[in-house]
Amino acid sequence: MSVSSDLHLLTGVYAMNALPEDERAEFEEHLADCDSCAQEVAELQATSVGLNLATELAPPSHLRSQVLAKLATTPQSPLETTATVTVLASRSPKKWLMRASILTTAAAVLGAVVLGVQGVQDWNELDALRQSAAGYSQVSDLLNAPDAKLVSDSASAGGKGTVVVSPSRGKAVFLSSGLPQLPSDRTYQLWMVGPDGPRSAGLLRDEPVVAEGLADAQKLALTIEPSGGSSSPTLPLVLTVSLV
């Protein structure tokens, strides 16, 4: 009895793959028979994975063909293994149906959380979160461009701007650090500066800012503008980062 109540406490450790191998095997045996642990493990695994959803990083592209080439010689487990059948048979189908819908909802909510839908105070924050997530995937995408490079420059008033730029994709991602805090009615705005003059790349309200359609822009420049942003930059430039 005390052994089995101990086992119930292992859901968290198991969900984080933190059990040593022998205990892992023992707990998996318990898991096959214990509905409440199975449900808790599923939720805690989804929670652990949720901690990490933001860290997407594209693998080197040559790995794709390497993996696909191995499929033909990699045997697959047969459909409907006996293990699965036994586990399912030991549980009432109704309970499983219920659990499936609960988990689907939970997973959907978790997905939404990371994109900022759940518990977000206002739509600005929601937009900010979406932009961060979009920016993040664009960074990892940009890093894979053959001509991607990293450039940075310091601001005269303190702080720094860092840019990942890929001329071939016409795209750059801008990230600041340590810039002076602005009053609430002011905002930093990023500009793409080329021979035809400056074009807005967006506000720094949330970062990273993705500057697209760089075309022949030579540099990115940062200015301080009224909180809604401006259609043309207000001097002085806080910071410029050369892209060429």
Q: Which of residues 137-166 bind other proteins (CB under 8 A)?
A: 137, 139-140, 143, 150, 162, 164
User: Distance from CA of residue 17 to its chain's centroid?
Assistant: 21
Instruction: Please select the residue that binds other proteins; options are 26, 30, 47, 237, rule is CB under 8 A.
Output: 47
8 binds Zn ion (CB under 5 A): yes
Residue closer to Zn ion by CB (options 47, 132) is 47
Residue closer to other proteins by CB (options 148, 224) is 148
Q: Considering CB distances under 5 to 8 angstroms, the limit depending on partner class, which of other proteins, Zn ion, none binds residue 151?
A: none
Chain residues 75-114 in contact with Zn ion, contact rule CB under 5 A: none
Chain residues 169-188 in contact with other proteins, contact rule CB under 8 A: 173, 175, 177
Minimum Å gap between C-beta 4 and Zn ion is 7
Mark 31-60 with x for binding to Zn ion (rule: CB under 5 A) and - for no binding: ---x--x-----------------------
- Residue 191: CB atoms within 10 A of its CB come to 24
Q: Which two three-digit tokens encode residue 64?
A: 């794709």
- The Cα–Cα gap between 106 and 46 comes to 8
The residue count for binding Zn ion (CB under 5 A) is 3
- The Cα–Cα gap between 112 and 121 comes to 14
92 binds other proteins (CB under 8 A): no
Q: Which letter does DSSP use for residue 73 in this model?
A: G
Minimum Å gap between C-beta 9 and Zn ion is 9
Which range, of 104-112, 153-161, 180-188, 236-244, touches other proteins by CB under 8 A?
Answer: 104-112
Helices (H), 90-203: 93-114, 123-143
Instruction: Please select the residue that binds other proteins; options are 2, 5, 77, 92, rule is CB under 8 A.
Output: 77
DSSP labels, 162-180: EEEEEGGGTEEEEEEESPP
Residue 52's closest CA among 110, 104, 101?
110
| Neighbouring residues of 139: CB distance < 8 A, sequence distance ≥ 6 | 164, 173, 208
Read off the amino acid at residue 165. V
